[in-house]
Structure 1
Amino acid sequence: MTHSAPTRTARRIPEASTWAALYARAQALAPDALGADGHVRNLTHGRWQATGEPRRTVSPVDGAALASLPMLSAADARAAVEAAAQEHATWSTVPLDERRARVADAVNRIEAQRDLLAQLLIWEIGKPYRQALTSVDRTVSGVRWYLEHIDEMLTGRAPLGLISNIASWNYPLSVLVHAMLVQALAGNAVIAKTPTDGGLVALTLAVALAREAGLPFSLVSGSGAQLSEALVRHPDVAALAYVGGKSNGRDIAAALVDRSKRYMLEMEGVNAYGVWDFSDWALLEQHLKKGYEYGKQRCTAYARFVVQRALFPQFLETYLRVAPTLTVGHPLLATEDGQLPDVDFGPLINAQKVEELQARIEEATTRGAVPIYAGTLDPANFLPGQDVRAYIAPTALLAPPRGTALYHAEPFGPVDTFVLVDSVDDLITEMNVSNGNLVATIATDDARVADEVFARSRAYKVGHNVLRSRGDREETFGGLGESWTGAFVGGALLVQAVTVGQPGERLAGNFPEYSLLPGRARRP
């Protein structure tokens, strides 16, 4: 599908923001990692190597061809893990002061390329410019907090071993690179898998900058089927950090349950926003607007609104004030003064995701859900004739039937569902529909209701009239039920998860072993 925008528009992509210009800048900074032909290399055995079968990637922004993923074989992945484990033996003996200096150097190098990394993220994962800058900034500020506090966190602790990382495409810097830098700071060698759906060049550049600073990083590309045996099950892997969907997460958890290695498995869940005896509709407007950032392609996005039936008219009036103001469009079309646009969100990660959401919407409405809002794409926010198959406007449905995907599964896109309830018990039941999620919020004027929701919620973080997020620095992060398995992270727990303390210590987390204790974040 294409849009035909009026030819009178003067908006355009600035020459400096074209993919060709950005890739050339990145290639000049990391020529060993990024081939001039667009073929990206794997980082194994301590150097960038032209291994793997190239698989072309395309931009969700307009379908244009980007760089090529170097897809490794299972055998090459095993060799990469074994080489990385050997590198750990040397790195683990490096004094903390030296490790801290090298990580600080890496952070400074990444910060110096803030704008370039952000614009690469726009092309590769469709993240709008302001939000892409925030991803870089959170990486930098988060790791600097650990640099400041690492002495106390490592008191009485030793490095664990080679840490393997498999993460989703939506936060390649502020989740994946951030974790890798902290893992190395704690004394571990690190290997990571490039997300196959997006973020290849931005991630490769950041890792190349860290490698130049002397950090023991390895980076490999390939399908999960080919690489999981090495990155998950290889005996040289001491711990696995995973961020992704439930189906793959369950398979990984099953593969690890009988192995003596650490793991931190973050999986999806339906994050719910409850409304009961509430009157601050201006606050709700703010929450609804902010909640649509990046098209709700976030593990902490709120997609399910459970509303007291008597308040639904006021809720709906508020929602319908916000939804039409959301701007969806090409995230690189400069305004007349040359500034990149501040759209609420651009494309989803690919056209297949849009097709999946459209099928789920059709399933729900065919079976009785009531369409409440269906936004449209404004041609003025796109180039004439642009491929817009990866874009979808905000959509909201009332009462999706039980058994439909939109009732029980996270949409991971700009589709909201509304469920009406008549009691606090029903409110909590509907907020817990996914049997475990990462965050929840209860909007209420009644503190007793907030206390009851917090006590019975299956979310790890619950907000009372505030939105909750993954958080960083001193804030811990985890999940309940099916949204998380293994050690909790964030703050000191992130360091504890990848280091060894006193014999018999207990880590905070969701483990099947009886000797390890769960934990939970408090309501702010």
Structure 2
Amino acid sequence: MTLKPGTAWSDAWQRSRAVAPEAFQDDRVLNLWAGEWHADGRALPATSPIDGTPIASPPRLDAPTARQAVRASLDQHRAWRHIPLPERKGRVSAILDALTEHREQLALLLVWEIGKPWRLAEADVDRAIDGVRWYVDNIDAMLEGRTPLPGPVSNIASWNYPMSVLVHAMLVQALAGNAVIAKTPTDGGVACLTLAAALAVREGIPITLVSGSGGELSEALVRSPEIGCVSFVGGRDTGARIATAVADLGKRHILEQEGLNTWGVWNFSDWDALSSVIPKLFDYGKQRCTAYPRFVVQRTLFDQFLAAYLPAVRSVRIGHPLAVEHPEDALPALDFGPLINAAKAKELGDQVVEAIDRGAVPLHRATLADGCFLPGQDTSAYLPPVTLLNPPPSSPLFHAEPFGPVDTIVLVDTEAELLAAMNASNGALVATLSTDDPGTYDRLAPQTRAFKVGRGKPRSRGDREELFGGFGASWHGAFVGGELLVRAVTEGPEGERAPGNFPAYQLIP
């Protein structure tokens, strides 16, 4: 196996510098604030999860500089909100054309920075472009009777979808008349986001892109009075702290957090359909908020479930996303590569060992020998698929989303047990119920505490007009997707109540 020619990190870096020399300097990226690129912040050593290659890291700002950046963003916001909508649409459309031109470069950066296989990296870029273009085409009706927020939108997002989640949100927020602030994810994606921001700021979009630790920058990015809205995507611990802060301040917010998304199997017989979807559920190693790590299976169907599940999970393909047998070969069609870093792979691997020690039954454990790697490469960030039966309640795998390629299975005997197991995490983003009887689905699905429930098919965040949110502890604040994303970052009639999950009310669209 060899690295596909032209795909080395050095190749990706030099091409990025050629496209946006103002944003890339020597071996580091720059911070963007007050409409200019700044060589400030402290960059720590960083390596790619795919093989340990040294890569660029986020240049971490201190709190005083972050506050200065927020104040500058407010000045940009006050000017941008008065730009006519047709002009905003034209500028955002020009950005989309630039992103399309550099689509493969953005995707290659994602491969190196966060370990996405090529197919999924391209999809992340494409979903951002296609999704924002839909808003450009439909924004006029969504903004009727609405105005931009009094201050910029502050975005703090996870590392797993830099383009289709973070850049998509930023461009829609700007299209709606707001200046935009984004903190680069600490664990990866800074070069991809920097290139995207460089293309955007050339069109006059008021973007601020800064890096730093959440603890040091949260005062500026969450609590600053200049901030009009806080948009967060990440884990429950950090989300809970932000939820407390925005509640104290009465600040508008969109807080997407994780939940244990479950797939129930009850009075079901279409095993070919289930088997066909299992490999796709392992896309990106289940490192996404809408992954399905838990199957809740009717005990009397367990043998048939295993007969469908095990051959499918054994077909999951892992390896180095850029490794090919011959230089002229296409990049490998993998389901996933590494986890985000070696520490996460070790943490999850240790949880698996501990769960087995406490009584979980290992049903499937793949090995790295099943994957394709470069000779002698660092594989410390890789964890092959694992499936456990009955994780003990004392294990984190029982009640929390693993954010990795570990499936757990729980057996149940009654519908009450099915619902209890599917609602194990006090709210989720998505769920699925596989059952032959439409009446059973219609009766049980509304009792599942997930924002989206599929019948025999996975649900996802969705694109364009599809709405998205969560129940329970998986979501705080306004729901998004379709027109709701625009409503969440604009002001409407006095007394308007946004659809969402708030301390005082829950309003389902």
Give the C-alpha shift of residue 335 in structure 1: 4.1
Please provide the CA RMSD for this pair. 1.0
Aligned partner of 1:363 in structure 2 is: 354
Aligned partner of 1:292 in structure 2 is: 282
**Equivalent in 72, 77, 101 of residue 83 of structure 1:** 72
* SS of equivalent residue, structure 1 residue 109: helix
Within 1, Cα distance between the matches of 2:398 and 2:158?
A: 23
**Number of residue pairs matched by the alignment:** 507
* SS of equivalent residue, structure 1 residue 258: helix
- How does 1:21-100 map onto structure 2 within 5 Å? 21-35=11-25, 37-100=26-89
Give the C-alpha shift of residue 513 in structure 1: 3.0
Matched, 1:390 2:381: yes
- How does 1:43-442 map onto structure 2 within 5 Å? 43-160=32-149, 161-336=151-326, 337-378=328-369, 381-442=372-433
Letter in 2 for 1:44: W
Letter in 1 for 2:202: E
Structure 2 unaligned blocks of 5 or more: none
Within 1, Cα distance between the matches of 2:24 and 2:169?
A: 23
Within 2, Cα distance between the matches of 1:379 and 1:276?
A: 32
* Aligned 8 A contact 1:159 1:187 in 2: yes
Identity of aligned residues (%): 55
Within 1, Cα distance between the matches of 2:114 and 2:507?
A: 34
Letter in 2 for 1:398: L
User: Which shows bigger deviation, 319-328 or 297-306?
Assistant: 319-328
* SS of equivalent residue, structure 1 residue 381: coil
Letter in 2 for 1:235: P
Letter in 2 for 1:461: K
Give the C-alpha shift of residue 71 in structure 1: 0.4
Aligned partner of 1:512 in structure 2 is: 503
Deviations 1:381-430 (A, max 9, x none): 11111100000110000001112111001000000000000011111110
Give the C-alpha shift of residue 478 in structure 1: 0.4
* Aligned 8 A contact 2:49 2:381 in 1: yes
Within 2, Cα distance between the matches of 1:453 and 1:471?
A: 23
Within 2, Cα distance between the matches of 1:223 and 1:281?
A: 46
* Aligned 8 A contact 2:3 2:374 in 1: no
Within 1, Cα distance between the matches of 2:495 and 2:144?
A: 17
* SS of equivalent residue, structure 1 residue 289: helix
* Aligned 8 A contact 2:264 2:295 in 1: yes
Give the C-alpha shift of residue 379 in structure 1: 6.8
Give the C-alpha shift of residue 14 in structure 1: 2.3
Deviations 1:251-308 (A, max 9, x none): 1101111212210000010000000111111110122111000000010000000000
Deviations 1:150-186 (A, max 9, x none): 0000000000120000000000000000000000000
Aligned partner of 1:6 in structure 2 is: none
Within 2, Cα distance between the matches of 1:100 and 1:199?
A: 26
* SS of equivalent residue, structure 2 residue 228: strand
Deviations 1:30-70 (A, max 9, x none): 111111x2111000111000011111221000011101321
Within 2, Cα distance between the matches of 1:425 and 1:379?
A: 39
Within 2, Cα distance between the matches of 1:313 and 1:159?
A: 56
Structure 1 unaligned blocks of 5 or more: 1-10
Give the C-alpha shift of residue 468 in structure 1: 0.2
* Aligned 8 A contact 1:335 1:341 in 2: no
Within 1, Cα distance between the matches of 2:247 and 2:117?
A: 39
* Aligned 8 A contact 1:162 1:191 in 2: yes
Within 2, Cα distance between the matches of 1:41 and 1:19?
A: 18
User: Which shows bigger deviation, 327-336 or 26-35?
Assistant: 327-336
Give the C-alpha shift of residue 378 in structure 1: 2.1
Within 2, Cα distance between the matches of 1:163 and 1:297?
A: 26
Aligned partner of 1:5 in structure 2 is: none
Within 1, Cα distance between the matches of 2:57 and 2:117?
A: 23
Aligned partner of 2:441 in structure 1 is: 450
Letter in 2 for 1:395: V
Normalised by the length of structure 1, the TM-score is 0.96
Aligned partner of 2:477 in structure 1 is: 486
Give the C-alpha shift of residue 471 in structure 1: 0.5
Normalised by the length of structure 2, the TM-score is 0.98
Give the C-alpha shift of residue 375 in structure 1: 0.4
